[in-house]
Amino acid sequence: MTDLFDLSGKVALVTGGSRGLGREIAMGFARQGADVIVSSRKLEACERVAADIRGLGRRSAAFACHMGHWDEIGGLVDAAFGAFGRVDILVNNAGMTPAVPSSLDVTPELFEKVVALNFMGPYRLSALVGSRMVQGHGGCIINVSSVGALIPRAGFGPYAGAKAALNAITTAHAHEFAPKVRVNAILPGAFRTDISKAWPKEKEAHLHAAIPRYGEPDEIVTTALYLASPHSGYTTGAHIRVDGGRVS
Protein backbone atom coordinates (compact mmCIF):
# COMPACT_ATOMS: atom_id res chain seq x y z
CA MET A 1 0.00 0.00 0.00
CA THR A 2 2.93 2.37 0.52
CA ASP A 3 3.34 2.41 -3.28
CA LEU A 4 0.12 4.40 -3.45
CA PHE A 5 1.91 7.21 -1.61
CA ASP A 6 5.15 7.04 -3.60
CA LEU A 7 6.39 10.62 -4.12
CA SER A 8 9.73 9.76 -5.69
CA GLY A 9 10.91 12.51 -8.02
CA LYS A 10 8.53 15.07 -6.54
CA VAL A 11 9.51 18.36 -4.90
CA ALA A 12 7.40 19.64 -2.01
CA LEU A 13 7.37 23.08 -0.42
CA VAL A 14 6.01 23.12 3.15
CA THR A 15 5.44 26.42 4.97
CA GLY A 16 5.43 26.37 8.73
CA GLY A 17 7.53 23.27 8.24
CA SER A 18 9.90 23.64 11.16
CA ARG A 19 7.58 22.24 13.84
CA GLY A 20 4.20 20.73 14.62
CA LEU A 21 2.01 19.46 11.82
CA GLY A 22 4.21 21.09 9.20
CA ARG A 23 7.27 19.17 10.32
CA GLU A 24 5.33 15.90 10.41
CA ILE A 25 4.08 16.47 6.86
CA ALA A 26 7.54 17.42 5.59
CA MET A 27 9.11 14.33 7.13
CA GLY A 28 6.26 12.13 5.90
CA PHE A 29 6.74 13.33 2.34
CA ALA A 30 10.49 12.73 2.58
CA ARG A 31 9.97 9.17 3.82
CA GLN A 32 7.88 8.55 0.70
CA GLY A 33 10.64 9.78 -1.60
CA ALA A 34 9.99 13.50 -2.04
CA ASP A 35 12.61 16.22 -1.88
CA VAL A 36 11.37 18.87 0.52
CA ILE A 37 11.80 22.63 0.86
CA VAL A 38 11.18 23.71 4.45
CA SER A 39 10.12 27.26 5.19
CA SER A 40 9.17 29.23 8.29
CA ARG A 41 10.13 32.51 9.92
CA LYS A 42 13.22 31.10 11.65
CA LEU A 43 15.94 29.80 9.34
CA GLU A 44 17.79 27.88 12.05
CA ALA A 45 14.69 25.84 12.89
CA CYS A 46 14.13 25.10 9.20
CA GLU A 47 17.75 24.00 8.82
CA ARG A 48 17.32 21.41 11.55
CA VAL A 49 14.36 19.83 9.76
CA ALA A 50 16.17 20.00 6.42
CA ALA A 51 19.12 18.16 7.98
CA ASP A 52 16.76 15.43 9.23
CA ILE A 53 15.32 15.10 5.73
CA ARG A 54 18.78 14.84 4.17
CA GLY A 55 19.47 12.13 6.73
CA LEU A 56 16.75 10.11 4.99
CA GLY A 57 18.66 10.39 1.73
CA ARG A 58 16.48 13.09 0.22
CA ARG A 59 17.41 16.56 -0.99
CA SER A 60 16.23 19.41 1.19
CA ALA A 61 16.66 23.17 1.52
CA ALA A 62 15.62 25.67 4.16
CA PHE A 63 14.36 29.17 3.42
CA ALA A 64 13.19 31.78 5.91
CA CYS A 65 9.98 33.56 4.99
CA HIS A 66 7.28 35.27 7.05
CA MET A 67 4.08 34.18 5.35
CA GLY A 68 2.27 37.15 6.81
CA HIS A 69 4.52 39.49 4.83
CA TRP A 70 3.22 39.63 1.25
CA ASP A 71 6.41 41.16 -0.12
CA GLU A 72 8.59 38.27 1.12
CA ILE A 73 6.64 35.53 -0.61
CA GLY A 74 7.90 36.15 -4.13
CA GLY A 75 11.46 35.72 -2.88
CA LEU A 76 10.57 32.33 -1.37
CA VAL A 77 9.10 31.17 -4.67
CA ASP A 78 12.13 32.33 -6.65
CA ALA A 79 14.47 30.62 -4.18
CA ALA A 80 12.52 27.36 -4.29
CA PHE A 81 12.37 27.17 -8.07
CA GLY A 82 15.95 28.34 -8.32
CA ALA A 83 17.18 25.56 -6.05
CA PHE A 84 15.05 22.69 -7.37
CA GLY A 85 13.71 23.86 -10.73
CA ARG A 86 10.15 22.93 -9.85
CA VAL A 87 7.58 22.58 -7.08
CA ASP A 88 5.13 19.71 -7.46
CA ILE A 89 3.45 19.89 -4.06
CA LEU A 90 2.72 23.03 -2.05
CA VAL A 91 1.55 22.77 1.56
CA ASN A 92 0.27 26.04 3.03
CA ASN A 93 0.62 25.18 6.70
CA ALA A 94 1.94 28.34 8.38
CA GLY A 95 -0.61 29.97 10.66
CA MET A 96 -1.39 31.37 14.09
CA THR A 97 -4.29 30.89 16.51
CA PRO A 98 -4.44 33.77 19.00
CA ALA A 99 -7.33 33.83 21.43
CA VAL A 100 -8.92 37.16 22.33
CA PRO A 101 -11.11 38.03 25.35
CA SER A 102 -13.80 39.60 23.16
CA SER A 103 -14.35 41.09 19.73
CA LEU A 104 -14.14 44.54 21.28
CA ASP A 105 -10.57 43.79 22.41
CA VAL A 106 -9.29 42.97 18.92
CA THR A 107 -7.00 45.68 17.64
CA PRO A 108 -6.59 46.46 13.94
CA GLU A 109 -2.97 45.32 14.22
CA LEU A 110 -3.88 41.89 15.60
CA PHE A 111 -6.74 41.42 13.14
CA GLU A 112 -4.51 42.26 10.19
CA LYS A 113 -1.74 39.98 11.49
CA VAL A 114 -4.10 37.00 11.81
CA VAL A 115 -5.65 37.53 8.39
CA ALA A 116 -2.29 38.11 6.74
CA LEU A 117 -0.74 34.90 8.02
CA ASN A 118 -3.74 32.58 7.77
CA PHE A 119 -5.28 33.87 4.55
CA MET A 120 -3.35 36.47 2.57
CA GLY A 121 -0.05 34.60 2.69
CA PRO A 122 -1.45 31.28 1.45
CA TYR A 123 -3.46 33.14 -1.18
CA ARG A 124 -0.35 34.86 -2.53
CA LEU A 125 1.87 31.79 -2.38
CA SER A 126 -0.77 29.66 -4.09
CA ALA A 127 -1.17 32.27 -6.81
CA LEU A 128 2.56 32.36 -7.52
CA VAL A 129 3.24 28.63 -7.30
CA GLY A 130 -0.07 27.53 -8.82
CA SER A 131 0.42 29.69 -11.91
CA ARG A 132 3.88 28.18 -12.43
CA MET A 133 2.45 24.69 -11.99
CA VAL A 134 -0.15 25.42 -14.67
CA GLN A 135 2.58 26.55 -17.05
CA GLY A 136 4.73 23.54 -16.19
CA HIS A 137 4.09 19.95 -15.17
CA GLY A 138 1.05 20.57 -12.97
CA GLY A 139 0.94 19.68 -9.30
CA CYS A 140 -1.14 19.94 -6.17
CA ILE A 141 -1.74 22.47 -3.41
CA ILE A 142 -2.78 21.48 0.10
CA ASN A 143 -4.10 24.19 2.41
CA VAL A 144 -4.01 23.39 6.12
CA SER A 145 -7.16 25.07 7.39
CA SER A 146 -8.99 24.28 10.64
CA VAL A 147 -12.22 22.73 11.84
CA GLY A 148 -12.60 26.10 13.57
CA ALA A 149 -13.66 27.50 10.20
CA LEU A 150 -16.75 25.26 10.38
CA ILE A 151 -17.28 25.31 14.15
CA PRO A 152 -16.16 28.81 15.20
CA ARG A 153 -15.97 29.55 18.90
CA ALA A 154 -16.03 32.75 20.90
CA GLY A 155 -12.57 34.19 21.30
CA PHE A 156 -11.33 32.94 17.94
CA GLY A 157 -13.39 35.04 15.54
CA PRO A 158 -10.54 36.51 13.45
CA TYR A 159 -8.82 33.12 13.19
CA ALA A 160 -12.03 31.28 12.26
CA GLY A 161 -12.85 33.93 9.67
CA ALA A 162 -9.40 33.77 8.13
CA LYS A 163 -9.55 29.98 7.89
CA ALA A 164 -13.04 30.16 6.38
CA ALA A 165 -11.56 32.48 3.75
CA LEU A 166 -8.80 29.92 3.19
CA ASN A 167 -11.47 27.30 2.57
CA ALA A 168 -13.10 29.61 0.04
CA ILE A 169 -9.93 30.14 -1.97
CA THR A 170 -9.29 26.41 -1.88
CA THR A 171 -12.43 25.98 -3.96
CA ALA A 172 -11.73 29.04 -6.10
CA HIS A 173 -8.15 27.99 -6.89
CA ALA A 174 -9.25 24.41 -7.57
CA HIS A 175 -11.29 25.80 -10.47
CA GLU A 176 -8.83 28.49 -11.53
CA PHE A 177 -5.83 26.15 -11.80
CA ALA A 178 -7.71 23.10 -13.12
CA PRO A 179 -7.20 20.66 -14.63
CA LYS A 180 -3.40 20.55 -14.23
CA VAL A 181 -3.36 21.55 -10.56
CA ARG A 182 -5.47 20.06 -7.78
CA VAL A 183 -6.21 22.21 -4.72
CA ASN A 184 -7.58 20.75 -1.50
CA ALA A 185 -7.78 21.60 2.20
CA ILE A 186 -7.21 19.62 5.38
CA LEU A 187 -9.22 20.82 8.38
CA PRO A 188 -7.46 19.57 11.53
CA GLY A 189 -8.92 19.60 14.99
CA ALA A 190 -6.84 19.75 18.16
CA PHE A 191 -3.46 18.07 17.78
CA ARG A 192 -0.80 17.30 20.34
CA THR A 193 1.90 19.66 19.06
CA ASP A 194 4.09 22.17 20.86
CA ILE A 195 1.18 24.66 20.72
CA SER A 196 -0.98 22.32 22.79
CA LYS A 197 1.45 22.61 25.72
CA ALA A 198 0.02 26.06 26.42
CA TRP A 199 -3.59 24.83 26.52
CA PRO A 200 -5.36 24.20 29.84
CA LYS A 201 -4.75 20.65 31.05
CA GLU A 202 -8.47 19.95 31.34
CA LYS A 203 -9.18 20.90 27.70
CA GLU A 204 -8.55 17.43 26.29
CA ALA A 205 -10.91 15.79 28.78
CA HIS A 206 -13.74 18.08 27.66
CA LEU A 207 -13.43 17.69 23.88
CA HIS A 208 -16.84 17.24 22.27
CA ALA A 209 -15.87 14.70 19.63
CA ALA A 210 -16.52 11.12 18.59
CA ILE A 211 -12.86 10.42 19.44
CA PRO A 212 -12.43 12.54 22.59
CA ARG A 213 -8.69 13.12 22.59
CA TYR A 214 -6.06 15.20 20.84
CA GLY A 215 -4.78 13.94 17.52
CA GLU A 216 -1.18 12.83 17.34
CA PRO A 217 0.91 14.77 14.79
CA ASP A 218 1.59 11.72 12.65
CA GLU A 219 -2.17 11.16 12.26
CA ILE A 220 -2.31 14.09 9.84
CA VAL A 221 0.31 12.65 7.52
CA THR A 222 -1.75 10.01 5.72
CA THR A 223 -4.34 12.57 4.65
CA ALA A 224 -1.60 14.83 3.30
CA LEU A 225 0.01 11.88 1.49
CA TYR A 226 -3.32 10.97 -0.08
CA LEU A 227 -3.84 14.50 -1.38
CA ALA A 228 -0.25 14.74 -2.63
CA SER A 229 -0.33 11.37 -4.39
CA PRO A 230 -1.32 10.93 -8.04
CA HIS A 231 -3.81 8.33 -6.80
CA SER A 232 -6.03 11.19 -5.59
CA GLY A 233 -6.11 12.54 -9.13
CA TYR A 234 -9.91 12.93 -9.09
CA THR A 235 -9.95 14.83 -5.80
CA THR A 236 -9.91 18.62 -5.97
CA GLY A 237 -11.75 21.39 -4.16
CA ALA A 238 -12.23 19.00 -1.22
CA HIS A 239 -12.24 20.04 2.44
CA ILE A 240 -11.26 17.00 4.52
CA ARG A 241 -11.83 17.09 8.28
CA VAL A 242 -9.26 15.35 10.47
CA ASP A 243 -10.67 16.27 13.86
CA GLY A 244 -11.85 13.13 15.63
CA GLY A 245 -15.46 13.94 14.75
CA ARG A 246 -15.71 17.30 16.51
CA VAL A 247 -19.24 18.48 17.13
CA SER A 248 -18.51 21.73 18.98
Which is it for the CA torsion 100, 18, 246, 226, positive or negative?
positive
DSSP 38: E
d(C-alpha 148, C-alpha 159), whole Å:
8
**What positions carry a catalytic annotation?**
159
Neighbouring C-beta atoms of residue 105, cutoff 10 Å: 9
Pairing of strands 139-144, 181-188: parallel
Question: HSE of 94 in the Cβ direction (CA atoms, 13 Å)?
Answer: 33
Residue 85's region, left for phi above 0, alpha for psi from -120 to 50, else beta, is left
